[in-house]
């Protein structure tokens, strides 16, 4: 059975986390715990609240994470299920939304109600089914539970003002916010289509008395927004608009069968939100987003608000515990400025017993700092886009992925020979898309080549798929388009447009000209790669991590040793790994798994020697490996010879070297060829040296 988490190590970390929580929880208005990922800080923090009988609400990223956490809490600390509640979203708890098509057939009220709810109309206040509604039930009864698990996106809704959620029968809950304190709530600008513009101009005409149209497009809406704000203060009533000949049939094509007031509610909500977004952007130092042709770039019109800022603003009377292994410093500084009593805690890298190895893939004289673009470049060199029948576009012949296939084969072979169940996992891109709309489904390709344990960039936070993998292989770097950092940059009062920032990028230094934007882009990369490196818990278990991508420098602190590893192809674009590289990888993987399963002590020199050997030029590597193979074969030959010439085998071989030599040539032909012992004289000489050295 494979070595799991060392009992002492696990107890040690949990004891330290619990000691920190006992000392500081309930005593500071905001606590930030920066312990590394996968050490159990979320479970430990919730457990401490349960033990202290302090009610808590926990905000997580998604429904799956909530359910996983729910199951862990039930299984790990055996909290009573009646004290723990997972908050269902409206779509999965509203009575009307759960009705099937058969149940709603010919029921006009249900059909219209579903349409309203789907379009964001608040139907609850006029719903006929309050008694049967689970959404209503949980709003009434959640106050009874000790622990409530909830999706972060609820922070940006009316639920943030609901005291029934944030108090247990009148007792104030602590708030736990799990990971990514820089995560924003984004509200998108909803562009007005022709139907909206026609209705808007009708409202303007009814309100002002002028028959002329006020706007003809969305750019007009922004340019005339001050006039629009004034008009909306005294706009025509819904009744006046309906009686003026409002054509609801145009809206029914967009939204389904709603009543006329519901259509108008949707329309004016859209106008209100768009004005709110404009006002937010107008107050920011950065210019309003524009395209190259100077028209407004409405894809960049967004209202940003950090979830953590909403929490602190709305629920400042509660104790707030932030759990984030990689917090952004500028956000932490902002929180410190907002609150009077801030405390940062955490378990540092020095506290962990280092057991794991890291191998960093090297090519062209340095570590690979891979990106999706470098993989694309290699593929372009190897294939023609003119006439493509290969669904993988040659990616399954790429050096990065054929290395993964070979490691997977080697681990399966080890399992077959040793009767073990060692696991191998890969973290890489989910897909690779080209400008000509060709797409490679990387996950599918890996599965087709026998790799079972896979995570891909954008889908790894909170995932435990690779927990039990003794070896993981990280291919590429989790790089988002720099545009993804612009919303946060603008929220933090950055002054430049996205176009200016992109033009400021220095290819030689790999940095943007704006210090704030450069910090945000690099933080996204660093925090993402840290989450990925810890997927198989190398700080808690004995593991190998092979990385072919960017590595934040501080992560090496968690590994016992870090070695370079070079992998050669048989020949360029062959889709096959060179035999010497296969041998080196096999030697490293097998010895490591022996140390895990059989507790064999493997010295650093062993890994270091093979690491250095892998980095030799290919021709020298072949020569050196042949020499190593020859020396190992000779050792095996001499060991067999000693056995043959022992007193036990005295009669059979007459204790003569010649008898042993002849027997070896007859029964161990391949071994003797590897050992390159062609003459009896050389055989005698080697055996004499072997005995003397023994």
pLDDT-based confidence at residue 629 (cuts at 50, 70, 90): confident
> What is the arithmetic mean of pLDDT over 542-568?
89
Type and span of the H or E element at 274 = helix 260-283
Reported as a single tens digit per residue, the pLDDT across 654-675 is 557 888 888 888 888 888 888 8
d(CA 465, CA 164): 36
> What is the arithmetic mean of pLDDT over 272-282?
94
Question: Of all residues in the chain, what percent carry a pLDDT higher than 90?
Answer: 28
Query: Is 32's pLDDT higher than 90?
Result: yes
> What is the arithmetic mean of pLDDT over 348-360?
86
> What is the arithmetic mean of pLDDT over 45-69?
86
Query: Is 622's pLDDT higher than 80?
Result: no
User: Can you count the helices (H) and strands (E) in the chain?
Assistant: 30, 20
Query: Is 112's pLDDT higher than 90?
Result: no
Query: Is 628's pLDDT higher than 90?
Result: no
Strand segments (E) across 365-428: 366-367, 424-428
CATH of 8-94+133-186+306-351, one of 3.10.20.600, 3.40.50.920, 3.40.50.300, 3.40.640.10: 3.40.50.300
Residue ranges matching CATH 3.40.50.300 in the chain: 8-94+133-186+306-351
| Tokens of residue 265, six digits | 């509610």
Reported as a single tens digit per residue, the pLDDT across 493-503 is 999 999 999 99
The mean pLDDT value of the chain amounts to 84
Residue-level pLDDT at 661: 85
Asked if 594 and 602 count as a contact pair (C-beta separation under 8 A), the reply is yes
Asked if 347 and 16 count as a contact pair (C-beta separation under 8 A), the reply is yes
Query: Is 602's pLDDT higher than 90?
Result: no
Residue-level pLDDT at 257: 64
pLDDT-based confidence at residue 263 (cuts at 50, 70, 90): confident
Asked if 30 and 318 count as a contact pair (C-beta separation under 8 A), the reply is no
Regarding predicted confidence, which is higher, 546 or 372? Answer: 546
pLDDT-based confidence at residue 516 (cuts at 50, 70, 90): very high
Query: Is 1's pLDDT higher than 50?
Result: no
Among 254-258, 333-337, 677-681, the range with the most confident prediction by mean pLDDT is: 333-337
Query: Is 264's pLDDT higher than 60?
Result: yes
d(CA 565, CA 615): 7
Axis crossing angle, helix 260-283 with helix 225-233, rounded to the nearest 10: 130
Residue-level pLDDT at 653: 57
> What is the arithmetic mean of pLDDT over 164-178?
90
Rg (CA), the chain: 33
Query: Is 302's pLDDT higher than 60?
Result: yes
Reported as a single tens digit per residue, the pLDDT across 433-470 is 877 777 888 899 999 999 999 998 877 766 678 888 99
> What is the arithmetic mean of pLDDT over 312-322?
91
pLDDT-based confidence at residue 625 (cuts at 50, 70, 90): confident
Helix/strand/coil for 562: strand
Query: Is 2's pLDDT higher than 50?
Result: no
Lowest mean pLDDT, pick from 137-146, 174-183, 390-399: 390-399
Regarding predicted confidence, which is higher, 537 or 262? Answer: 537
> What is the arithmetic mean of pLDDT over 517-539?
88
Reported as a single tens digit per residue, the pLDDT across 193-229 is 888 898 888 888 888 888 778 889 999 999 999 999 9
**Residue 494 backbone phi and psi in degrees, to 5:** -65, 150
Query: Is 472's pLDDT higher than 80?
Result: yes
Other beta carbons within 10 Å of 432: 21
Strands 30-33 and 342-345: parallel
Reported as a single tens digit per residue, the pLDDT across 121-163 is 777 777 777 777 888 888 888 888 889 998 888 887 778 888 8
> What is the arithmetic mean of pLDDT over 673-679?
84
Q: What is the pTM of this model?
A: 0.81
Residue-level pLDDT at 282: 94
Residue-level pLDDT at 389: 57
Query: Is 254's pLDDT higher than 70?
Result: no
| Tokens of residue 303, six digits | 């209202």
> What is the arithmetic mean of pLDDT over 350-376?
80
The separation between the first and the last C-alpha atoms of the chain, rounded to the nearest angstrom, is 35
Regarding predicted confidence, which is higher, 369 or 490? Answer: 490
Query: Is 182's pLDDT higher than 70?
Result: yes
Question: Of all residues in the chain, what percent carry a pLDDT higher than 70?
Answer: 92
């Amino acid at each position: 059975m494979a070595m799991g988490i060392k009992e002492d190590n696990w107890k040690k970390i949990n004891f330290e986390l619990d000691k920190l929580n006992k000392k500081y929880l309930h005593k500071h208005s905001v606590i930030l715990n920066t312990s590394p990922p996968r050490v159990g800080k979320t479970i430990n923090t919730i457990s401490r609240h349960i033990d202290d009988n302090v009610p808590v609400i926990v905000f997580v990223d998604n429904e799956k994470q909530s359910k996983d956490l729910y199951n862990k809490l039930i299984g790990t600390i055996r909290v009573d299920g009646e004290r723990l509640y997972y908050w269902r979203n409206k779509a999965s708890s509203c009575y009307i939304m759960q009705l099937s098509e058969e149940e709603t057939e010919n029921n006009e009220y249900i059909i219209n109600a579903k349409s309203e709810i789907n379009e964001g109309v608040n139907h609850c206040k006029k719903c006929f089914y309050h008694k049967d509604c689970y959404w209503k039930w949980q709003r009434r009864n959640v106050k009874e539970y000790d622990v409530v698990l909830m999706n972060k996106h609820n922070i940006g809704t009316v639920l943030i003002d609901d005291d029934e959620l944030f108090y247990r029968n009148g007792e104030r809950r602590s708030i736990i916010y799990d990971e990514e304190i820089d995560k924003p709530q984004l509200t998108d600008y909803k562009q007005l289509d022709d139907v909206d513009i026609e209705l808007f101009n009708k409202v303007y005409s009814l309100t002002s008395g002028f028959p002329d149209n006020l706007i003809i497009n969305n750019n007009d809406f922004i340019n005339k927004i001050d006039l629009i704000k004034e008009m909306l203060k005294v706009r025509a009533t819904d009744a006046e608009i309906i009686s003026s000949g409002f054509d609801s049939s145009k809206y029914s094509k967009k939204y389904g069968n709603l009543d006329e007031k519901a259509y108008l509610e949707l329309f004016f909500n859209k106008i209100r939100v768009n004005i709110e977004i404009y006002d937010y952007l107008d107050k920011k130092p950065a210019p309003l987003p524009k395209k190259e042709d100077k028209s407004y770039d409405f894809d960049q019109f967004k209202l940003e608000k950090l979830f953590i800022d909403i929490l602190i603003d709305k629920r400042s009377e509660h104790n707030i515990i932030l759990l984030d292994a990689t917090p952004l410093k500028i956000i932490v500084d902002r929180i410190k400025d907002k609150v009077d009593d801030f405390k940062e805690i955490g378990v540092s890298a020095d506290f962990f017993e280092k057991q794991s190895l890291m191998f960093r893939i090297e090519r062209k004289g340095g570590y690979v700092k891979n990106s999706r673009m470098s993989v694309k470049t290699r593929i372009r060199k190897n294939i023609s886009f003119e006439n493509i029948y290969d669904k993988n576009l040659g990616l399954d012949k790429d050096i990065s992925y054929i290395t993964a296939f070979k490691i997977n084969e080697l681990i399966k072979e080890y399992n077959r020979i040793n009767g073990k169940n060692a696991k191998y996992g890969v973290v890489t891109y989910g897909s690779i898309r080209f400008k000509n709309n060709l797409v490679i489904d990387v996950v599918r390709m890996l599965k087709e080549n026998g790799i079972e344990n896979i995570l891909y960039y954008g889908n790894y936070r909170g995932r435990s798929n690779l927990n039990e993998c003794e070896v993981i292989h990280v291919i590429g770097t989790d790089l988002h388009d720099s545009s993804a950092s612009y919303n946060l940059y603008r929220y933090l009062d950055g002054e430049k447009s996205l176009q200016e920032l992109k033009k400021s990028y220095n290819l030689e230094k790999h940095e943007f000209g704006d210090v704030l934007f450069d910090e945000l882009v690099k933080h996204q990369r660093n925090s993402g790669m840290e989450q990925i490196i810890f997927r198989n818990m190398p700080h808690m278990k004995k593991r190998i991590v092979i990385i072919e991508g960017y590595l934040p420098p501080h992560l090496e602190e968690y590994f016992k040793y870090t070695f370079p590893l070079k992998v050669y192809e048989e020949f360029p674009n062959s889709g096959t790994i060179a035999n010497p590289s296969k041998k080196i990888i096999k030697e490293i993987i097998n010895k490591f798994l022996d140390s895990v399963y059989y507790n064999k002590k493997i010295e650093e020199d062993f890994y270091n020697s093979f690491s250095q050997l892998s980095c030799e030029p290919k021709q020298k590597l072949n020569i050196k490996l042949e020499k190593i193979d020859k020396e190992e074969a000779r050792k095996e030959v001499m060991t067999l010879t000693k056995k043959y010439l022992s007193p036990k085998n005295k009669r059979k071989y007459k204790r003569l070297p010649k008898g042993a030599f002849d027997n070896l040539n007859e029964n161990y032909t391949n071994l003797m060829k590897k050992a390159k012992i062609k003459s009896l004289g050389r055989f005698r000489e080697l055996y004499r040296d072997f005995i003397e050295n023994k």
